[in-house]
A and B are shown apart, each in its own frame.
Chain A
């Protein structure tokens, strides 16, 4: 380290150079960034797959992809984006970076386990890719049996890969919970926790409770493919519907693993960029926990036409509506936060506003799918695809980009180009609606999902959807370009460009290796915007 710099400027976690200083770091900030960049690479890969098969779907009939190739692409698109991007990118990426800082700690509770968790994640990701060497993976990311039960080594390795990714997820969740319980700075009571931390807490709980069940389910599926067992294969006495129960017992809560951190991000963005206390702090915090809890009781709504008893159908539908309540409460509170605020149209704020609008559509279309009557018609059609992407892309990815631009000045001490970042946002917003809104209409008209080909009457809507996906591609490339350019050549950022109140804004940008020179004693809440 240069002495001169050390005198002039605080030390920074970015100071140490060399590959080794990254790969074996115990610093939560560096581990967080490694997670984030790994996920960003996979975001591009998974997105590229979508662009390829959307292009195939421009017109009816075969363009250039065989049905087999199309099916492999949509499977990988789903598996990569869910397990390698959306699940880890906010909690393990940005959460890792900011959770300890926001609670006034120097690191997470178990820094070594944190690093281990990252490498397990990488191992899982590599296994996922390596499975392709043993044969095509065309089961869909849902791995429904018995279609996936007779495949062989390739599906065995994919299931082990996802089991491995699950282990990483469990370790991170455990680490975060202990961190939040044990390492809060003096004075930082539960009532003063930033809502992003509350959201991460709820997410970690879901990760701990749901992931093991997915783990064992996929382990069994893997064994079906290499040994002779047949828990899910009717030819051997097994039950394919049991697989769906076990799978959705994880995978529905997994939706909340993906969306709860996004909720936390939006609470931060809306408050900071309108310089106003968040409206209804306790309702927002409690609604995260409520969603995490109720999220475990609703998995059956994926199975209204899959052979469950009518009593189960009715109970699951009824319970599902209860998830909508805390979700609606959050939306009201974010909107109310804007009332009499001082709203600045920064890129993070635009993403937050886009999030509220798009997530609203995603959430409301969920009502149709929780509905016993309409779900029979809409189940497994493009309506589900539209709904899912409004929640996962329109909400989770928008929240990620909002958070990315919100915290870029803090993470790297550099400002991004506001004008180009807004261009990226606009492309994402237009492209997103162009891609996925037509899919609702397709579904309502009866177009099933996962189709390589479709009757000609659906062509205009498919065409629009594909064109929209090109806009998203452009939007994401530009946004990431703006981000990378900011790191490379951005103007120096002040320590607190947005006037934020939570602890990360009290330390220099980029943060010192130890985060805090002295552990702070917290007196004010994270949203106490007061006149000076």
Chain B
């Protein structure tokens, strides 16, 4: 029994330092996961530079920009959340977590109700009418552009969704008063994850919306 307690204690102990290290390692694998897609982007962009330039005009720069601002703001509120936890400001922590979640949801809402539906309507999705048209007309690069667009923003959107779910869990724990300046590991670790999700978008935005 004593040993069990000790084990539990050790686990929590390894948890603070170890969990952060584990999360960094995990984030690194996430970067590599997206790295594979970025590599594909680089290869096809070098082959079909012109097609990519033409295709990117189909994307709405304004909406992309708004979403970028939304995510950057959410990164800020997340950082403030971690600071609040570290400095034992529990109400602020709740507030900032809630804000971060709402911003994440806002990002997804814009993506799923404004951006993507327009593309679907125009047939600019893998298997869509306009998309198949590109392939038949020999503008294969434009088809690849939209394949990459949907794969990358889709995978990223999935990560945002996971982030929102994780942060909701953290918020529930925070509302129950689990965190304090003594124990805030989960807040910090999920914050790291949220920053990565944000960071990836910072790369996605210019790659798709701002091609020269």
Contacts and interface: CB of A to CB of B under 8 A. Distances in A.
Interface of A: 105-107, 109-111, 113, 170, 173-175, 177-178, 181-183, 208-209, 211-213, 215-217, 219-220, 223, 227-231, 235-239, 242, 246, 513-514, 517
A113 B25 CA distance: 14
12 contacts: A109-B18, A109-B22, A174-B29, A209-B28, A213-B32, A220-B151, A231-B44, A231-B144, A231-B147, A242-B40, A246-B39, A514-B4
Residue of A110, A211, A228, A237 with most partner-chain B CB within 10 A: A237
Given A212-B33, A216-B36, A517-B3, A174 B144 contact: no
Interface of B: 3-4, 6-7, 10-11, 14, 17-19, 21-22, 25-26, 28-37, 39-40, 43-44, 47-48, 126-128, 131-132, 135, 140-141, 143-144, 147-148, 150-151, 155
B11 A111 contact: yes
Contact of B143 (A177, A217, A237): A237
Contacts of A238: 144
Contacts of A106: 3, 6-7, 10
A202 to B, nearest CB: 14
B35 A178 contact: no
A170 B6 contact: no
A228 B126 contact: yes
- Nearest 3 CB-CB pairings of A with B: A237-B140, A228-B127, A216-B36
A231 B40 contact: yes
Contacts of B30: 212
Contacts of B36: 212-213, 215-217, 220, 246
Contact of A236 (B21, B28, B143): B143
A216 B29 contact: no
A212 B29 contact: yes
A109 B150 CA distance: 37
Contacts of A170: 26, 29
Nearest to A227: B126
A223 B26 CA distance: 24
A211 B30 CA distance: 10
Contacts of A228: 126-128, 131-132, 147
A465 to B, nearest CB: 37
B43 A514 contact: no
Contact of B43 (A174, A181, A223, A239): A239
Secondary structure type dominating chain B contacts? helix
B4 to A, nearest CB: 7
A238 B47 CA distance: 10
A279 to B, nearest CB: 33
A216 B30 CA distance: 10
A175 B15 CA distance: 11
Given A212-B36, A236-B144, A237-B143, 9 more contacts: A106-B3, A175-B22, A181-B21, A215-B36, A216-B37, A220-B36, A223-B151, A228-B127, A514-B7
Nearest to B154: A223
Nearest to A175: B22
A215 B33 contact: yes
B35 A183 contact: no
B47 to A, nearest CB: 8
Given A212-B32, A236-B140, A514 B3 contact: yes
B32 to A, nearest CB: 4
Given A183-B14, A220-B151, A223-B151, A110 B22 contact: yes
B43 A242 contact: yes
A183 B3 contact: no
A443 to B, nearest CB: 32
Contacts of A246: 36, 39-40
A208 B19 CA distance: 16
A211 to B, nearest CB: 7
Contacts of A231: 40, 44, 144, 147-148
Nearest to B17: A182
Contacts of A110: 11, 14, 18-19, 22
A213 B35 contact: yes
Contacts of B150: 229
B26 A229 contact: no
B122 to A, nearest CB: 15
A185 to B, nearest CB: 11
Contacts of A220: 36-37, 40, 151
A237 B141 CA distance: 7
A41 B11 CA distance: 32
Contacts of B26: 170, 174
A174 B28 CA distance: 10
Contacts of A209: 28-29, 32
Contacts of A242: 40, 43
Contacts of B39: 246
B189 to A, nearest CB: 12
Contact of A182 (B21, B40, B44, B126): B21
